[in-house]
Structure 1
Amino acid sequence: MNPIRIALVAPSLDLLGGQAVQASLLMDRLNQLPDLEVEFIPINPRMPGPLRELQKVRFVRTVVTTLGYVGSLLARLRSFDVVHVFSASYFSFFLAPTPALVVAKAFGRPTVLNYRSGEADDHLTRWRTAPPTIRLATRVVTPSEYLVDVFGKHSLTASSIPNFVDLETFRWRERDPLRPVFLSNRNFEAHYDVATVLRAFAVIQAQWPSARLLVAGDGPQRQELHALAERLGLEQVEFMGQVEHTRMPQLYDQSDIYLNAPYIDNMPNSILEAYACGLPVVTSDAGGIPYIVRDRETGLLVPPRDPGALAEAALRLLSDPKLAAALAAGGRREVQERYTFSSVRNQWLELYRELSGGKGEKA
């Protein structure tokens, strides 16, 4: 039996973020299945020789990287049975999934557009070229039912296969006693609103002077967030910079409560990782988050852009360790039952078999 050959088109781990992490994890697990043979095509290839130096030059790197990426699509896609394309929104959608969909269509290869951005509604509303481009895909798959609903609003059909967490890497630890040690690990982009986490922590620290906050991440708001922490007079806040995903289990283990405050989001894998590691979750209810966090069962939900509400929920956990333990236990059950590779393996297999015309099925 010949395996189904899959091209996985996605950002490499050179671009730290949830998509790169999930793509790497998915490819590793899929390649362990005898039915599949998965090869990676990065949207951000490392160019050889002098071209690599040009990739370090602002603006020039976009042109050089895009040319290298499109060249690899033209050279390689014809040899695959199915093309699986990870997708963000806006300009990234134009640069990365769009060329893959067009080239695969030209070669007659079926495609899975794996759309993952919480900004989908705005993207589909404002970018008129997005819906017809998405319709080039044979199937659209999102990691959350939230995005399925968003796509339906725009008369686009999608199905959902969730993200998953490696429970061998992200290990459970009971928090007893519960310490006032908080973790934020979202990138420093406006819609992830790390500023609200800092403002909430100022309220928390006023009542718990020993409280600590670990802030892992980087991005365009770096200077602004450092300046905000200084203006707020925050103590025991550690900005850790961009942290490799291999180090994240250690940061979860060092922390006792997870704080998250985006005003736009889809299905943050960091919440699933917090579940797996035993941290009670306090988060805004933006976008698709209520689809993976049940208020007072697996976490506490608060409105976006409300530092007071975020702080109040966190303080509630510190004053009620039994509630914190119950939320952590609920999160653990949730991730074990719904967000492991064994939970999604057959969904991916069935989709690939369908698109490849039944290839990979045992006689």
Structure 2
Amino acid sequence: MRKALGRVRRRAEAAAGAVRDRRRHRAIAGAAATRPGIAVFYGHDRLPGPDEPAHGGTIKFQQLASAFPNEPRRFNLLYFGSSVRPSDSATLLRLARERAAPIVINQNGVAYPGWHGPGWERTNKPLAELLRAADHVVYQSEFCKVSSDRFLGEPRASWEILHNPVDTTRFTPEDRLPRPLTLLLGGNQYQRYRLEVALAAFDLVRAEREARLVVTGRMSWHADAREAEREARELVARSRAGADVAFTGLYTQREAPEVYRAGDLLLHTKYNDPCPTTVLEAMASGLPVVYSASGGTPELVGPAGIGVPAPLDWERDHPPGPEELAGAVLEAAERREELAAEARARAVERFDLTGWIERHRQLFTELVG
């Protein structure tokens, strides 16, 4: 019964969404593009505010909108993030071309067989269409460029690699309070293995020293988040150190700095993560990172953490082994002060939000001007 009701609800939501989209398209078609100046549309009529939960793809546009506010009707530049692509992207691309508005794509990850499973080609199709329509492509990491070229095709337009930013004035370290070593499993947990591996490694760490594990964000490896939450609680209950595991639940960008300040090390167990914002937020907060040395994460962390080696494989994922992960945690804990200083300095020097916004200002001026 619940599944049937869910299908009915999804169909009703889809129908209502189609009506909203048609209204939006008519409103865009009837509005003149802003001239002169730069007016950016991010593909969504509204961006979440700082007091609302948001994930990496949206966070970047929240930050950029402080300099270039979202203009859903009279835009003269269309900027899509591949991970937050609107469902009506094809129509929006057409409307942008009709008003001669440049199109910029911020390219994150792709669907590949090992992560996505069957149907990865279908998922990649609209992403490839975005790249073909783009006047400029911003790849979030070298890994994003490699994976995009392989699964979406090389871009026809100009492109650059520009890593994601972090606001280093908000995400800052604070003096560490006396407490057990506190590990953060950061971000939202989109894959079950991320939590499973972290718990297995934490059991091994806990056998060596006093420690806590804080699991952040939403458990979302099932369509029904409640099912994922139930499985997560069961995994913790089976863990030998389960009494020392806590969940934060969803948090907002306004709350995020305090989440990181409550930790001492970031655990990032995701394989082939293209350019994780949670890693940058942790580094700016002075947290060393223990991670799967795969995807774009090594480009971000550099000497500010310890990576567990992993092969490049598109056919299956390779989560870090618990023993190797635990060993890296124990080493990072011993070197915490050194790695924390490196993490903060690297975030400020390489990934600060100010430079990222300025590069977009230059790019938008070139394209619109």
TM-score by length of 1: 0.76
- Which residue of the other structure, out of 314, 339, 348, is the alignment partner of 2:329? 314
Is residue 99 of structure 2 the alignment partner of residue 111 of structure 1?
A: no
Tell me the residue number matched to 2:306.
300
Which shows bigger deviation, 115-124 or 308-317?
Answer: 115-124
Shift of 1:119: 4.1
| Structure 2 contact 76–99 (Cα < 8 Å) conserved | no
| Structure 1 contact 175–278 (Cα < 8 Å) conserved | no
Report the Cα distance in structure 2 between the residues aligned to 1:245 and 1:299, rounded to whole angstroms: 24
Tell me the residue number matched to 2:22.
none
Report the Cα distance in structure 1 between the residues aligned to 2:75 and 2:85, rounded to whole angstroms: 22
Shift of 1:266: 1.0
Structure 2 gaps of 5+ residues are 1-34, 223-227, 311-318
Indicate the RMSD between aligned Cα atoms, in angstroms.
Answer: 2.7
- Which residue of the other structure, out of 255, 263, 286, is the alignment partner of 1:278? 286
- Say which SS state the counterpart of residue 213 (structure 2) adopts: strand
- Say which SS state the counterpart of residue 292 (structure 1) adopts: helix
- Which residue of the other structure, out of 140, 147, 170, is the alignment partner of 1:143? 140
Report the Cα distance in structure 1 between the residues aligned to 2:100 and 2:363, rounded to whole angstroms: 17
After superposition, where does 1:30-179 map in structure 2 within 5 Å? Answer: 30-31=67-68, 38-41=69-72, 76=73, 79-88=74-83, 93=85, 95=87, 97-117=89-109, 119=111, 126-127=121-122, 129-130=125-126, 131-153=128-150, 154-156=153-155, 158-175=159-176, 179=180
Letter in 1 for 2:298: P
Tell me the residue number matched to 2:230.
223
* Alpha-carbon distance change, 242 to 96 in structure 1, aligned in 2, over 3 angstroms: farther
- Which residue of the other structure, out of 246, 252, 277, is the alignment partner of 1:269? 277
| Structure 2 contact 141–163 (Cα < 8 Å) conserved | yes
Which shows bigger deviation, 188-197 or 211-220?
Answer: 188-197
Letter in 1 for 2:211: A
Q: How many positions carry a matched residue from both structures? A: 305
Report the Cα distance in structure 1 between the residues aligned to 2:186 and 2:96, rounded to whole angstroms: 36
Tell me the residue number matched to 2:208.
207
Shift of 1:134: 2.1
| Structure 1 contact 186–194 (Cα < 8 Å) conserved | no
Report the Cα distance in structure 2 between the residues aligned to 1:129 and 1:145, rounded to whole angstroms: 21
| Structure 1 contact 81–110 (Cα < 8 Å) conserved | yes
Which shows bigger deviation, 125-134 or 269-278?
Answer: 125-134
- Say which SS state the counterpart of residue 9 (structure 1) adopts: coil
Q: Deviations over 1:183-225 (max 9, x none)?
A: 11221211772221122111111222x3111111112332222
Shift of 1:24: 0.8
Report the Cα distance in structure 2 between the residues aligned to 1:84 and 1:342, rounded to whole angstroms: 19
| Structure 1 contact 9–40 (Cα < 8 Å) conserved | no
* Alpha-carbon distance change, 97 to 198 in structure 1, aligned in 2, over 3 angstroms: farther
Structure 1 gaps of 5+ residues are 32-37, 42-75, 359-363
Q: Deviations over 1:240-294 (max 9, x none)?
A: 2112221111111111111110023111111111111111111112211111122
| Structure 2 contact 215–247 (Cα < 8 Å) conserved | yes
Report the Cα distance in structure 1 between the residues aligned to 2:53 and 2:175, rounded to whole angstroms: 32
Report the Cα distance in structure 1 between the residues aligned to 2:244 and 2:55, rounded to whole angstroms: 26
Report the Cα distance in structure 1 between the residues aligned to 2:71 and 2:359, rounded to whole angstroms: 20
